[in-house]
Structure 1
Amino acid sequence: MRDILVTLMVFGSLPFIFKRPWLGAIMWIWISVMNLHSQGWGFARTMPFAAIIACATVASMILSKDKHRLPPSPVTTIFILFGVWVGVTTIFAINGADNIPQLTKVYKILGMNLVVMMLIKTRKQVEALVWTVAVSLGFYGIKGGIFTIRSGGNEMVWGPAGTFIEGNNELALALVMVIPVIYYLFTISTRRWLRAGLIGAMLLCALSALGSYSRGAALAIGAMVVFFWLKSRHKVTLGVLFLAAAPLMLNFMPEKWFARIDTISQYETDGSAQGRINAWNMAYNLALDRPIVGGGFDIYDYAVFLRYAPIPDDVHAAHSLYFQVLGEHGFVGLLIYLALAWSAWRAGARIIRDTKPYPDLRWASDLATMLQVSMLGFGVGGAFLSLAYFDVPYYLMAAMVATSLIVAAEIKERKKHKAPAAAAAAAAAAAAAAAAVPAPAAARRHEGSR
């Protein structure tokens, strides 16, 4: 039944995609983030739904009368530069052709994100993107939160198999990222039942993240809550909510959860932590040896660890998006990646600054703020996970770029109309002042001039 439902949804969307290409971008995000077909048990699990949607979207763009261009933004430029650079580093990769499958996968992600950037242009489309991300990840957060309640927190929450968020740590980080996005939707929603549902979704996502037993997610939640509170206009309300919800959730978790989290302070004796540190040292040493291009995607094998790792036979994935990019693409690649994150952050800061005089643009300021909170959560939690190519942060960057351009265009239009109006008002005031001059005084000035 699930397989049939997903198939009908995908193929049923194709006529709408050919009519409105931006719907293809939304469908792509839904199928690539939620991976609902992975929840089926039959033919849908292996159906190339993503490829079908991608082909339909690109074909629709080509056939459309509208011109679709990449948005002019530093984020777009640096994003393209990062894509070019991973191609360059693949040419000089240590294991050569073995890197091609991963390069193909990464280019699919980056390429379709460029398509998303070209198609998402209006507030309606931006909020459709945000809703899609929220529903796609929130589904697993709600499901995981209910599972945590049912198991009393004694069983670990995992993500959908065969996806970026399959692991408990990866799922937890994704849920940490989506909570601010859901909060934004809460701020723009007017129906009581929907607002209540969104509050419930946020609480269940947080509980699911705790139920994953992820130490990195625990750190990310802490950092995000502090920044969330500092950036909010409703500090008292949120402060009360956090103070009320946190003890309830923590008291619900069993003793073994606290024992797991407590190992953060005992990393010297924790095998998992030591394995990650060994992988970080490998990536750093490799980058020192090959500072420009790094080692390419395929560097997590015994031969590479034998050459660069302090403990050669302890082969691990990078377990840090920063060391992942450093080892795979060198110091240059890491610099480009950090510049991309910084440019997206600065775009949000400009939105917040520029919209202050305009109360009706508060939605853009609120969205930019929550996207920044989400980025912070990803930046902190991602320090312990190999998620440099996770697509959700790139989609949120696309939403940030689109919002910044919407705000810039709206403010420019208002200033353009305001200038003639101000000039006309000044001329009218001058004319009124001249007309108000008493006639005898005007006559005296006339005689004095003779």
Structure 2
Amino acid sequence: MRDLLMLGIVLGALPFALRHTWIGILLWTWISIMNPHKLAWDFAQNAPWAAVVAGVTILSLFTTRDKLNMPWEPPVKVLFAFVIWMCVTTAFAFYPLISWEQLNKVLKIQLMTAIAFAALRERRHIELFVWVNAISIGFYGFKGGLFTIATGGASTVWGPPGGFIEGNNEIALALVVAIPLINYLRMVAVNRLIRIGLLALMVLSAVAAIGTQSRGAFLAMLAMGLVLLARSNRKVATGITVAIVAATIIAFMPNSWENRMSTIRTYEQDGSAMGRINAWGMTVNLANSRLSGGGFESYTPEIFSKFAANPSDVHVAHSIYFSVLGEHGYIGLLLFLLVWWLAFRTAGRIRRDALVREETKWIYYLAGMCQVSLVGYMVGGAFLSLAYFDLPYNILVILVVSSRWLQEKRWQTETQGVLGETAPKNQTRAAAIGKLQS
């Protein structure tokens, strides 16, 4: 039944994707982020859904009547430069053929990212894109939260098989990044039941992230909480609320979770942590000796024997920063960091420009939550190899196309969102949210 449902959804959507590129982007994002086919049991599980949807979406570039235009914002230019540099480092990689296989995956993601930049223009496009990203990850937050509650936190939450977020640490970071997007949807929803449902989804996603027993996700959630607290004009009330929710969730978890989190302070006694530090040192030494780094898939005994302090302790970098450094050198790391710094600045500019009129308040809230998501990614990603994961690049897409929407003054003609006005009607409530996000 699941296989037939998957087949029906994709086949039913493909004709619309061929006519409208933005629909193809939504369909691709759903498949690449959520991996719904991995939840099937038969033929759908290993079918090339992403390739089919990507092919139709690319074909739609020549058949659609929708206006397509690449927004050449600074982060877009730097991202393209980063992609070009990855092609260069692959040419000079230690293992060019193996490195090319990983580059091929990255290029597919970045190609669809580029199409998303060009295709998502209207307010409904942006909002639907947010919904697809938030709910695709939120689905696993819903399942994982219920699973954690049902097992008393004794079992570990894992992601869907295959893809970037299969591991417990990876799905944890995805949940952390998605929670602010879910919160944005809750903030601007006009229907009370939708707001309650999204609030419940946020709580369950937080429980699921804790249930992964990921130390990186725990630190990322702390960092995001501090950002929200720093922005709030009601710091005492906000701090008390966050503390109560956090204490309730943590008190629910078993002693095994507390013992694992306590290793953050005693990392030198943890074999996994010391293995990561050894891998980080290897990437630094590698980057110091080679301008282009080692290329993708450089974590082999041969490379560790040349550049690691402990040659026998072979690990992947487990860090978005050190993995980029080792694979693409200091130039690659600089471009990578510049992308996200410019993304954060773009969000700040959107918030400043959107705050001045009521018609653009929705995008003000959206940019703020994207900033919180990026904080979670940059902190949690310090301990995970998710430098090429789709979700943060989708947040970059949201910010860039939102900036274009503002610059084109589209609020003058696009007053309705996906679910109606999708902006707080009650002025008191709107003012309260404005204070919270200022």
TM-score (norm. length: structure 1): 0.89
- 1:202-221 equivalent positions in 2, closer than 5 A: 202-221=202-221
SS at 2:266's partner residue?
Answer: helix
Amino acid at match of 1:366: Y
Q: How does 1:106-117 map to 2 (within 5 A)?
A: 106-117=106-117
Quote the residue 1:136 is aligned against.
Answer: 136
Displacement of 1:192: 1.2
User: How many Å separate the matches in 1 of 2:369 and 2:64?
Assistant: 33
Other-structure match for 1:255: 255
Match of 1:159 in 2: 159
Q: Secondary structure at the match of 1:14?
A: helix
Q: Which has the larger radius of gyration?
A: 1
**Counterpart residue number, 2:339:** 340
Deviation sequence 1:141-176 (CA, Å, 0-9, x none): 010000000000000111011121111111111101
Maintained 8 Å contact 1:231/1:369:
no
Distance 2:320 2:134 in 1: 23
Residue 298 of structure 1 deviates from its aligned partner by: 2.0
Q: Aligned partners of 1:298, 1:166: CA distance in 2, in Å?
A: 19
Distance in 2 (alpha carbons) for counterparts of 1:397 and 1:234: 29
For residues 212 and 264 of structure 1, what CA distance do their matches in structure 2 show? 15
2:134·2:182 contact (CA, 8 Å) conserved in 1? yes
Q: Offset of 1:233 from its aligned partner?
A: 6.1
- Partner of 2:403 in structure 1? 404
Q: Matched residues in 1 for 2:142 and 2:271: separation?
A: 32
For residues 136 and 66 of structure 1, the distance between their equivalents in structure 2, rounded to whole angstroms, comes to: 26
The equivalent of 1:273 in structure 2 is 273
Work out whether 1:194 is the aligned partner of 2:197: no
Deviation at 1:98, TM superposition (A): 2.0
Equivalent residue, structure 1, for 2:435: none
Q: Which runs of 5+ in 2 are unaligned?
A: 414-438
Alignment check: 8 A CA contact 1:229 1:235 kept: yes
- Displacement of 1:247 after TM fit? 1.5
Distance apart, 1:206 and its partner CA: 0.4
Contact 1:228 1:373 (8 Å CA) reproduced: yes
Compute the RMSD of aligned alpha carbons: 1.5
Equivalent residue pairs, number = 413
Deviation at 1:17, TM superposition (A): 1.1
**How far 1:232 sits from its partner (Å)?**
4.4
1:229 shift after superposition = 2.5
| 2:244 alignment partner in structure 1 | 244
Native 8 Å contact 1:70 1:76 kept in 2 = no
Greater helix share, structure number = 1
For the pair 1:65 / 2:59, whether they are aligned, the reply is no
In structure 1, the partner of 2:101 is 101
Instruction: Provide the C-alpha distance between the structure 2 equivalents of 1:283 and 1:117, rounded to a whole number of angstroms.
Output: 32
1:359 maps to 358
Equivalent residue runs for 1:281-430 within 5 Å: 281-290=281-290, 292-410=291-409
Taking only the aligned residue pairs, the percentage that are identical comes to 46
CA distance in 2, matches of 1:382, 1:174: 10
What TM-score, normalized to structure 2? 0.92
Aligned to 1:12: 12
Report the 3-state secondary structure (helix = DSSP H, G, I; strand = E; otherwise coil) of the residue aligned with 2:70.
coil
* Alignment deviations for residues 212-256 of structure 1 (CA, whole Å, 9 cap, x no partner): 000111100000011022234665664343133112111100111
CA offsets per residue over residues 184-218 of structure 1, 9 Å max, x none? 00011011111110010000000001000001111
Distance in 1, matches of 2:301 and 2:326, equals: 15
- Output one character per residue of 1:404-446: Cα deviation in whole Å (capped at 9) or x when no partner: 11112218989xxxxxxxxxxxxxxxxxxxxxxxxxxxxxxxx
Deviations along 1:32-75, one digit per CA (max 9) or x if unpaired, are: 00100001111001111111111111111211234423112111
Matching residue of 1:418: none
Q: What amino acid is aligned across from residue 185 of structure 1 in structure 2?
A: L
SS at structure 2 position matched to 1:71: coil
- Matches of 1:115 and 1:79, distance apart in 2: 13
The residue number in structure 2 matching 1:442 is none
Corresponding residue number in structure 2 for 1:28? 28
Runs of 5+ consecutive residues of structure 1 not aligned to the other structure: 415-450
